[in-house]
Amino acid sequence: MNNVAENNAADFAVSHQTGNKTVQKWTVADIIALFEMPFSDLIHRAQTVHRLHFDPNEVQVSTLLSIKTGGCPEDCGYCPQAARYHTGVENEDMMALEDVVAAARAAKEKGASRFCMGAAWRGPKQRDLEPVMKMIAEVKAMGLQTCATLGMLKEGQAEQLRQAGLDYYNHNLDTAPEFYGEVISTRTYQDRLDTLEQVREAGMNVCCGGIVGMGESRNQRAGLIAQLANMATPPESVPINLLTQVEGTPLCGTEPLDDFEFIRTVAAARITMPASHVRLSAGRSQMSDTMQALCFIAGANSVFYGEKLLTTGNPDTDADQQLFDKLGIRPEGI
Ligand code: SAM
Ligand code: DTB
Ligand code: SF4
């Protein structure tokens, strides 16, 4: 049977030639049209694309560690680590190298293939970068892929991180350009794009996504996906975070996002960034196994693994093992 909705959706993206490379550009309207597809058609299309690029039963597994918690000068309206909000998160010193190494070893033993170190900074000062580079080198030497999320990078810092052995740098666009100013005022969208450019120029993999459920519109969710999908090279990893509402942050009390809308966002990311890992990121603690299974079917193929994200909870590893067993999912690279 010819399915009109699906066939129309297949024609959305415009292909054009640049040199010998075909680049697919997605307009926000194209992506809105994906969101508007009948749910089954959208999921079918996302699964079809997913199976062309990945083993549908493999999920990439990353463990997060907050190496410098709290006291951040920025004003991101979702974040429990911003010093200006009273969330109960204390300003801590940077972790000692041996404690980071021990956490990475434990993550590896539990089955993680990537270890991501996060710091509550606007960006790293040069004196901060030295100890972080040692952490990266030691984690890398353990045979784990390395990732860091340290805020905005200044000229030359991405190169230093790469030389220390950093495989991925996480820096999120967070939302669509039009909604961004409602959430953050202390750094601009362009600042974020500039950091991402530095990461690319240094030859590292880009991990870049955003947060949904912050009160943005569907058009703005589509706008975020368009920004990511239209990058000259789309991010290798795309974290889709569901806002974790933390008491004391300005976004606490926001109307929760409908589950199907979240799944549609995952599917739109999968379709528009077919070769990227789409990570089901913050928010899994609040999701049922069934909801997570639908997200995997919609094309999510990466998770944060370990009982904590940075400051908030994540499913414990036993629960994730049971979920993977129920679904026949294997952790990638294990
Ligand atoms: N300070 C650095 C920065 O902002 O780039 C790195 C750490 S920051 C906590 C990394 C990302 O975590 C943010 O860009 C945001 O997308 C996500 N995040 C923070 N708080 C969150 C929350 N409450 N719910 C969902 N995602 C959140
Ligand atoms: C990302 O996109 N999500 C992670 C990671 N990158 C650094 C962080 C989620 C943080 C959730 C709130 C917290 O635990 O503090
Ligand atoms: Fe600071 Fe990052 Fe939190 Fe923004 S998201 S307040 S920059 S730790």
- In order along its 334 residues, the chain shows pLDDT tens digits of 334 344 444 445 555 444 445 566 899 999 999 999 999 999 999 999 999 999 999 999 999 999 999 999 999 999 999 999 999 999 999 999 999 999 999 999 999 999 999 999 999 999 999 999 999 999 999 999 999 999 999 999 999 999 999 999 999 999 999 999 999 999 999 999 999 999 999 999 999 999 999 999 999 999 999 999 999 999 999 999 999 999 999 999 999 999 999 999 999 999 999 999 999 999 999 999 999 999 999 999 999 999 999 999 999 999 999 999 999 999 997 6
E strands, 79-203, in order: 114-119, 145-149, 168-170
Which token pair is 90? 């204390």
Query: Which ligand is closest in space to the CA of residue 249?
Result: 1
Locate 187 and state its tokens: 């750094």
CA dist., res. 156 & res. 177, Å (int) = 26
Determine the residue type at 268. A
The answer to whether 121 and 68 have CB atoms below 8 angstroms apart is yes
Which residue has the least CA distance to atom 2 on ligand 3? 120
C-beta of 321 in contact with ligand 2 (< 6 A): no
Distance (Å) from CA 302 to ligand 3 centroid: 23
The residue written with tokens 């750094």 in the block is 187
Ligand 1 centroid from CA 24, angstroms: 29
CB hemisphere CA count around 269 (13 angstroms): 34
Ligand 2 atom having least distance to the Cα of 309: 14
Residue closest to 9 by CA, chosen among 295, 268, 235, 276: 268
Ligand 1 binding residues, C-beta < 6 A: 78-79, 118, 120-121, 149, 151, 171-172, 174, 211, 241, 243-244, 246, 282, 310
Contacts of 189 (CB under 8 A, 6+ apart): 173, 177, 180
pLDDT tens, residue by residue, 194-225? 999 999 999 999 999 999 999 999 999 999 99
Q: At 195, list the tokens.
A: 């950091």
Instruction: Number of helices (H) and strands (E) in the chain: give both, helices first.
Output: 12, 12
What count of other Cβ atoms lies within 10 Å of the Cβ of residue 120?
A: 26
Pocket test for ligand 3, best of 64, 69, 72, 94 (most atoms within 8 A of CB): 72
Whole-angstrom Cα distance, residue 63 to residue 279? 12
Q: Are strands 205-207 and 210-212 parallel, antiparallel or unpaired?
A: unpaired
Which tokens hold the place of 213? Answer: 């459920």
Q: Tell me how far the alpha carbon of residue 248 lies from the centroid of ligand 3, in angstroms.
A: 14
> Ligand 3 centroid vs 174 CA: distance in angstroms?
11
Which residues sit with their C-beta closer than 6 Å to ligand 3? 72, 74, 76, 79, 81-82, 120, 122, 151
Count of alpha carbons within 13 angstroms of residue 10, beta-carbon side: 11
